[in-house]
Amino acid sequence: MLTKRRMAVLATALLVAAGSSYSVSAMARPGGGGGGGELVPLSVDEEAGLQFMREEEKLARDSYIVLGDLWGLPVFANISESEQSHMNGVKQMLGKYQVPDPISDESNVGSFVDPELQALFDDLMAAGEDSVMAALYVGGTIEETDMEDIQHWIDLADHEDIIGVYESLLCGSRNHLRAFVKQIENRGAVYEARVLPQDVVDAIADSPTERDCGSGGGGGGRR
């Protein structure tokens, strides 16, 4: 999956560099063992999903910190704060189920245990340094990637509390994508999907901002 994402990042960089018009056009699940009962152990996929999403949410946060410092756009600062809450939500699940946290130092911006996430971050930052518009496209690519990955891990999860956290992350990512699309369109460009199907991205961008995401649903609507 990450190879596909890195290709999307590189395609965005090439598009901007080429000087285009920026047209980057029911079975009950086991719960968390609440009420004093014993926790139902996580599957291997559930553990892997939490660890991966913990780092991927950090990738989003770190990217927006770096791009915000570089270009000074408030949208990056606002969404980086939301990504921190996403990181916190996943961290809570790691602690609850005693799954090792892959992040030893949250303040170490741009450092990742997963080598593919590290490579993706490096590619994203290289693309985002080109221009403000390229940086906004990087933001859109990150949010599309996040949504694809979150849905992947939802499909492999059984614990309702973990699924609930993931659904909150999905809601926040939809809002973040709306915010980046709005920023791009306000600059006279047309946003073209980089990872998700175009009709899915258009439906998200054309719908109102969601207000009940739980842990972090920042961002604005398209209009």
Q: Would you state the pLDDT for residue 38?
A: 82
Q: According to the model, what pLDDT value does residue 35 have?
A: 46
Q: How far apart are CA 157 and CA 44, in angstroms?
A: 10
Query: What tokens does 36 get?
Result: 């004093």
pLDDT of 73 reads 97
All domains of the chain in start order, with CATH: 2-13+41-205 (1.20.1260.10)
More confident residue, 3 or 40: 40
Residue 193 CA to residue 202 CA, distance in Å, equals 8
Report the predicted TM-score, pTM, of the whole model to 2 decimal places: 0.84
Q: What are the structure tokens assigned to 143, written together?
A: 């949010």
For 105-147, write each residue's pLDDT tens digit.
Answer: 999 999 999 999 999 999 999 999 999 999 999 999 999 999 9
Closest C-alpha to 139, from 184, 87, 103 = 184
Confidence band, pLDDT 50/70/90 cuts, at residue 80: very high
